[in-house]
Amino acid sequence: MIAQAIQVLGGVGYTMEYPVEQYLRDSKILTIWEGTSFIHANDLIGRKMRMKEGAAFAAWMKDIKNFIDANSRTKDFEKEMKQLAKAYQSAEEVRDIYNAWYADMDRKRQLIPLYAQKALFVFAEVYVAMCLLDQALIAASKAANLKPGEGDYTFYHAKIASARYYANNILPGVSTLAALIKSEEDSVLTCPEEALVVS
């Protein structure tokens, strides 16, 4: 999102004239602080998803499903909830793919870490969408009693707009990530190392 903000501002967005250049530098720490995304991804697929025979992860997934089921017909949020339901189905597919890979470790061992980061982002984006939509539903109920310009009307509508944008513009990418994982495309593993040497 910050990279898009810089694009909107053009070349001046790259300078210290606006704070977005600092935000972009600061945001990078989120993917390396407390361990890189790859480390977190491997922890997710190798430990958290498998902990207690998958029971803890299944309970986490059930919380998301319960939220979808409870709010799928909420007036004015049907489109966003449909996007979340579709992304959730993709997350279920990814979970099932990983379960199948672990069951066939002799043949699928290399795929497990290869697609770990993509799996991490699938689950993260679904969860972020749920959290944003949960906030948006609360904001909509609060804003319903306010008139434009009154109290926190603008704040609540910003919450709703953020959730809508994320659900309709970012969340659909989850299906693409799931399809990539399902493809088992492994050219990065099969490409001979010498082909990468520049002479």
Query: How far is it, in rounded angstroms, from Cα 187 to Cα 189?
Result: 5
CA atoms within 13 A on the CB side of 73: 2
3-state SS string for 22-49: HHHHHHHHHHCCCCCHHHHHHHHHHHHC
Tokens for 11?
């070349």
Let me know: does 126 contact 103? Beta carbons within 8 Å.
no
Active site includes 34? yes
Query: How far is it, in rounded angstroms, from Cα 70 to Cα 148?
Result: 29
Amino acid 72 reads S
Task: Say which of 17, 34, 93, 184 is annotated catalytic.
Answer: 34
Amino acid 172 reads P
DSSP characters over 83-105? HHHHHHHHHHHHHHHHHHHHHTH
Packing angle between helix 153-165 and helix 116-143, nearest 10 degrees?
150
Catalytic residues: 34
